[in-house]
Structure 1
Amino acid sequence: MNNYSYLYRKNIVYIAIGLIALTLLSEFIFSKENSISNNIIFSILIVLLLYLVICVKSIFTGTINTLRDTEQRLKESEKEKHFMSYYDGVTRLPNERYIVEQINNTWQNGTSQIALVVFEVDRLTHLKSSLGSKYTNRILELIVERLQCRFPNYIVGKIQEDQFVILLENKNEKETFQRLCKQLIDLIEKPFNIQQLTLNMKVNVGVAYSPEDAKTAEDFLKYAQFAMYEARRVPEQYRLFEPTMACSREERLLLEKDLYKALENNELFLQYQPQLKLKTKHDFSMEALVRWNHPEKGLIPPGDFIPLAEESGTIVPIGKWVLETACRQTKELQETIGQQVTVAVNLSLRQLYHENFVKVVSSILEETQLPPKSLQLEITESMTMDKNFLLPILHDLKALGVTIALDDFGKGYSSISYLKDLPIDCLKIDREFVNNMSEDEREPLVDLIISMAKHLNLNVVAEGVETMEQFNYLLNSDCDAMQGYLISKPILFETIINNCRCLNKKDLHCDLQSEYYSLIKQIFNRKKEQSHK
């Protein structure tokens, strides 16, 4: 605007000077005097007029060029605006708005048989918070390269920070899409090598069909996402949309909303399940398990609300509360019985990726005055996929004096070749292997895990022990401890502490293994337990 005003003012000045020069020139033309001075002035005026004509022409040319440049910048700005509206800035793939419009255009053109594949790259947000956007952006670029190489004829888009979409023709061949989902999972789960780091990603895939599943593009995309969310719960890692998923997802969203208030409203509480030691008579150990007593729905199973907490991020404050409460209550139990008690607390991946987690653990131990050796932190096999990130954290935790257990061992995530590199103290055998045991027949996988653990100088705890056959099998093996409903169901801390107060101090010292088993039964006796209010 200032440039145009400047050009306008300059033209006015030149035109005014030109008019004055023309007026003077006309006077000299009609003047009858023919002197040398008049001729000189006349020549000067002619030159001045020619100069003014050239200047005005130059100004108008400059104005035209400026207008052209402005028009070009406007076009580029419109292109940039269009790109920002319809494409992702990092991957340069079409975004959600583009995909929705493309679906609508496809339907308007008479093609209704289409399918939408939505998949999420799990742990991408965790990696961003721990390693920074430089690494995650590079992972996204590599994912795009793989997708464009593998699916060159399909529309591939990015609809959220960690979600991609593929739009393709639906020929009602669901087996084809199942095959495509498996290929997609294999494609993305190949390791990514970035600056000497090897990163492994996990993928969940959902598929929706048109016109069977949805009548609007927004619903079409939403239902494919619902199927993707359900894929988190199944080992195949992919799901085809079913109408029941919409209702299920709505219920989960309402439950997630209530979960945000659960801590604030004191709806969460802990129960403890004992770990029966098979090699000692003087060691008390238990695992802390979080429970949710919903004000309207009653007790919510952990399998329902823990995944919600993971998805929403509330697992971080919940996990901190669990750790804090377990340490405080264990310290109280130690003071009551005058003996060492160890408590095991489960960790989530989000907690580990949260900044200053080691400092949080250190502060809790200091505040509760619980000896570090009395705390065991449990990680799952799936957390060990990114060893380069995990190892420094585990070493820092070990430096505090706490012990580390690998929970649900045997599900197949860990590489046995680097198991020896993990700074862990204990392996917990997954309950699925324990369920297959009988007293008469050998269970080779359980024997293998126990043997391997012993060669690595690790303790072994078997989970899910429910029958005497399983008990006897483990008793005759080299297993160190067991937990399960046969020993005790999880019970409230108030019940445990009250049971301990009813015991004589001398009853806490056992000379025989059978006395120790009996004592554990007495401490974790639910007869006096009241339902949690």
Structure 2
Amino acid sequence: MNSYSYLDRKNITYLAIGVAVMALVSIFLLSAVSSISNNIVYSLIMISLLCFGVYVKWIHENTLRTLRDTERKLSNAEKEKHFMAYYDEVTKLPNERYIIERINDDLKSDASQKALLVFEVDRFSTIKSSLGTFYTNRLLALIAERLLKKLPHLVIGKLEEDQFLILSAGENDKEAFLILCKQLTELMEKPFCIQHFSLNIALNIGIAYYPEDAKSADDLLKCARFGMYEARNVPEQWAFYEPAMSYVREEQLLLENDLYNAIQNNELFLQYQPQLKLKTKHEISMEALVRWKHPKKGLIAPSDFIPIAEESGLIVPIGKWVLETACRQTKELQETLGHPITVAVNLSLGQLFHENFAEVLRSILKETKLPPKSLQLEITETMTMDKSFLMPILGELKALGITIALDDFGKGYSSLSYLKDLPVDCLKIDRDFVKNITENEHEPLVDLIISMAKHLKLNVVAEGVETMEQFNYLLNSECDAIQGYLISKPSSFETIMKNSKCLKANNLCYETQLEYYSLIKQIFN
């Protein structure tokens, strides 16, 4: 408005000057003797003044139009700036900053009980690594649409990459929130269709209360997240915040920080568990298993630090170290025994889809001088969700001359319709199926997997063999190899190397299957 007022005052000044000039000239001409030349001059002056008036009007209108456009652009920019500051770009939902400020404002005017529910999409990182950002962004947008449509009365917001929240004020008893949790779970049961994919998802839900659990908006959000992290470990996949969760999460964060330095400080090491061949006596195979010896806490179980490594992205450098170490140590064992040895190494999803993984592997094989046929890479069924992404990568790896095994087969998501198209060489039967084998009863799933693998011309390895009943059952089947505590627990490289040197000194020799079994025992025990 100030700009308009200034422009009006400026234009009025121009017009006043023009009118004054015209009046003075008119008085002068009228007082002079009338002549043709004076009339012509007078007419020219009048025309000039008229043109001047039109010009001033044009400037006025053009300037007003420019000012309006500028103000509209500024207004749109302010709205866009506000949206970027307080709303999520993908889902268009209020973001964390908006929710925090809203809670703080509510607390100033009303300190009554409030509850915050935070939930994440389970396995979101796996979906993103498999399908890419386009599909996960579309998935998040569809989740937001479904939430707004089915729960319009609730305050719904969007937090980090895969996290949402629901804010509730007033009386919030646990029973009401349990009902809400069930509603959310049922709401996500229907698959999300994105182009030619149909995605099924589950939620991990955490709930925290104000003022029982936290006294501020930031702490309330933190407590709800702690509950969400705990929900990952419980069958129902929701959890109310408890003070002990803070300690557990803080311990995990400290462990993650220590894991950053584990490689540089030589705290990681490998153990190897043999795979006993049942149909041949000419192959020695083993699986490399990463271990972590913490300087203060001692041995950390893989089940404790591998998920942290995957969540933080540390799995990529750790995985590379495992590959390099396994290839180098296997080559040393081959030279010591003078016999081919195959080593199997687990791959994470982050590793597999990391840029130039095939080139990294090629470089490792060249540097360690391990023959490609001596390396087997193990992938899980969850990695096979998107064949279009996986097939080119597996093709590059197979071109190097390595073999590929599908680990934990039977528990994942592989479809038999395209299993035959995957360039894999081996199926590893999950230990949960093997443990059900008894002396007097067949295990139909094990029989089915072995039969199917043989029709696809794939080798079969059974994991988790711990009893002679399981051993005898698999020995009499078409299973190619077994792995488990019955054969040997994982052994350190130093122990295996020491045993191998002793065997070499005593003339390594095995002619019968029994001698081969004995050899494996002597190397790995």
> Common fold, TM-score beyond 0.5?
yes
Cα drift, residue 213 of structure 1: 3.2
How many angstroms apart in 2 are the aligned matches of 1:453 and 1:294? 40
Taking structure 1 as reference, are residues 116 and 225 closer, same or farther at Cα in structure 2, changes over 3 Å only?
Answer: same
Cα drift, residue 377 of structure 1: 0.8
Q: Which runs of 5+ in 1 are unaligned?
A: 526-533
Cα drift, residue 105 of structure 1: 5.0
Please say if 1:350 is aligned against 2:355: no
Q: Find the counterpart in structure 2 of residue 392 from structure 1.
A: 392
Q: Find the counterpart in structure 2 of residue 200 from structure 1.
A: 199
Cα drift, residue 118 of structure 1: 1.8
Q: Find the counterpart in structure 2 of residue 361 from structure 1.
A: 361
> For residues 106-125 of structure 1, what are the structure 2 equivalents within 5 Å?
108-109=109-110, 112-120=113-121, 122-123=123-124
> For residues 103-502 of structure 1, what are the structure 2 equivalents within 5 Å?
103-105=103-105, 108-109=109-110, 112-120=113-121, 122-123=123-124, 127=128, 133-168=133-168, 170-173=172-175, 174-187=177-190, 190=191, 192-194=193-195, 197-198=196-197, 200=199, 202-211=201-210, 212-234=212-234, 236-502=236-502
Is the CA contact (8 Å cut-off) linking 1:327 and 1:368 kept in structure 2?
A: yes
The one-letter code of the counterpart of 1:183 is E
How many angstroms apart in 2 are the aligned matches of 1:131 and 1:500? 45
Is the CA contact (8 Å cut-off) linking 2:206 and 2:231 kept in structure 1?
A: no
Is the CA contact (8 Å cut-off) linking 1:271 and 1:493 kept in structure 2?
A: yes
The one-letter code of the counterpart of 1:186 is E
Residue 186 of structure 1 aligns to a residue whose secondary structure is coil
Cα RMSD (Å): 3.3
Residue 477 of structure 1 aligns to a residue whose secondary structure is coil
Is the CA contact (8 Å cut-off) linking 2:130 and 2:383 kept in structure 1?
A: no
Taking structure 1 as reference, are residues 270 and 124 closer, same or farther at Cα in structure 2, changes over 3 Å only?
Answer: closer
**Higher mean Cα deviation, 509-518 or 209-218?**
209-218
How many angstroms apart in 1 are the aligned matches of 2:200 and 2:261? 32
Cα drift, residue 517 of structure 1: 1.8
How many angstroms apart in 2 are the aligned matches of 1:387 and 1:64? 59
Taking structure 1 as reference, are residues 433 and 319 closer, same or farther at Cα in structure 2, changes over 3 Å only?
Answer: same
How many angstroms apart in 2 are the aligned matches of 1:387 and 1:123? 18
Cα drift, residue 235 of structure 1: 5.2
How many angstroms apart in 2 are the aligned matches of 1:205 and 1:378? 28
Is the CA contact (8 Å cut-off) linking 1:206 and 1:226 kept in structure 2?
A: no
Cα drift, residue 92 of structure 1: 1.8
Cα drift, residue 272 of structure 1: 0.8
How many angstroms apart in 2 are the aligned matches of 1:209 and 1:236? 17
Cα drift, residue 288 of structure 1: 0.4
Taking structure 1 as reference, are residues 11 and 509 closer, same or farther at Cα in structure 2, changes over 3 Å only?
Answer: farther
Is the CA contact (8 Å cut-off) linking 1:336 and 1:501 kept in structure 2?
A: yes
How many angstroms apart in 2 are the aligned matches of 1:425 and 1:148? 47
Is the CA contact (8 Å cut-off) linking 1:358 and 1:396 kept in structure 2?
A: yes
Cα drift, residue 198 of structure 1: 2.1
Residue 80 of structure 1 aligns to a residue whose secondary structure is helix
Q: Find the counterpart in structure 1 of residue 508 from structure 2.
A: 508
Cα drift, residue 236 of structure 1: 4.6
Q: Find the counterpart in structure 2 of residue 524 from structure 1.
A: 524
Is the CA contact (8 Å cut-off) linking 2:208 and 2:227 kept in structure 1?
A: no
Identity %: 61
Residue 503 of structure 2 aligns to a residue whose secondary structure is coil
Cα drift, residue 58 of structure 1: 4.7
Is the CA contact (8 Å cut-off) linking 2:380 and 2:412 kept in structure 1?
A: no
Taking structure 1 as reference, are residues 318 and 122 closer, same or farther at Cα in structure 2, changes over 3 Å only?
Answer: same
Cα drift, residue 494 of structure 1: 1.9
Cα drift, residue 333 of structure 1: 0.9
The one-letter code of the counterpart of 1:79 is K
Q: Find the counterpart in structure 2 of residue 528 from structure 1.
A: none
How many angstroms apart in 1 are the aligned matches of 2:337 and 2:3? 85
Taking structure 1 as reference, are residues 401 and 234 closer, same or farther at Cα in structure 2, changes over 3 Å only?
Answer: farther
Is the CA contact (8 Å cut-off) linking 2:206 and 2:229 kept in structure 1?
A: no
Residue 160 of structure 1 aligns to a residue whose secondary structure is coil
User: For this pair of structures, how many residues does the alignment match?
Assistant: 519
Taking structure 1 as reference, are residues 444 and 157 closer, same or farther at Cα in structure 2, changes over 3 Å only?
Answer: same
Residue 503 of structure 1 aligns to a residue whose secondary structure is helix
Taking structure 1 as reference, are residues 447 and 168 closer, same or farther at Cα in structure 2, changes over 3 Å only?
Answer: farther
The one-letter code of the counterpart of 1:75 is S
Q: Deviations over 1:178-232 (max 9, x none)?
A: 4134224424xx25332xx426364442221323433322222222322333344
Residue 81 of structure 1 aligns to a residue whose secondary structure is helix
How many angstroms apart in 2 are the aligned matches of 1:292 and 1:4? 74
**Higher mean Cα deviation, 447-456 or 483-492?**
447-456
Residue 377 of structure 1 aligns to a residue whose secondary structure is strand
How many angstroms apart in 2 are the aligned matches of 1:124 and 1:315? 13
How many angstroms apart in 1 are the aligned matches of 2:20 and 2:246? 80
Taking structure 1 as reference, are residues 240 and 409 closer, same or farther at Cα in structure 2, changes over 3 Å only?
Answer: farther
Residue 182 of structure 1 aligns to a residue whose secondary structure is helix
Q: Which runs of 5+ in 2 are unaligned?
A: none
The one-letter code of the counterpart of 2:351 is Q
Cα drift, residue 171 of structure 1: 4.2
Residue 262 of structure 1 aligns to a residue whose secondary structure is coil
Cα drift, residue 64 of structure 1: 4.3
Alignment TM-score, normalising by the size of structure 1: 0.86
**Higher mean Cα deviation, 56-65 or 367-376?**
56-65
Cα drift, residue 23 of structure 1: 4.3
Alignment TM-score, normalising by the size of structure 2: 0.87
Is the CA contact (8 Å cut-off) linking 1:130 and 1:355 kept in structure 2?
A: no
Taking structure 1 as reference, are residues 371 and 380 closer, same or farther at Cα in structure 2, changes over 3 Å only?
Answer: same
Is the CA contact (8 Å cut-off) linking 2:291 and 2:302 kept in structure 1?
A: yes
How many angstroms apart in 2 are the aligned matches of 1:177 and 1:2? 54
Taking structure 1 as reference, are residues 185 and 326 closer, same or farther at Cα in structure 2, changes over 3 Å only?
Answer: farther
How many angstroms apart in 2 are the aligned matches of 1:8 and 1:328? 85
Is the CA contact (8 Å cut-off) linking 2:193 and 2:199 kept in structure 1?
A: yes
Q: Find the counterpart in structure 1 of residue 84 from structure 2.
A: 84
Cα drift, residue 50 of structure 1: 4.7
**Higher mean Cα deviation, 428-437 or 230-239?**
230-239
How many angstroms apart in 2 are the aligned matches of 1:168 and 1:248? 27
Residue 423 of structure 1 aligns to a residue whose secondary structure is coil
The one-letter code of the counterpart of 1:119 is E
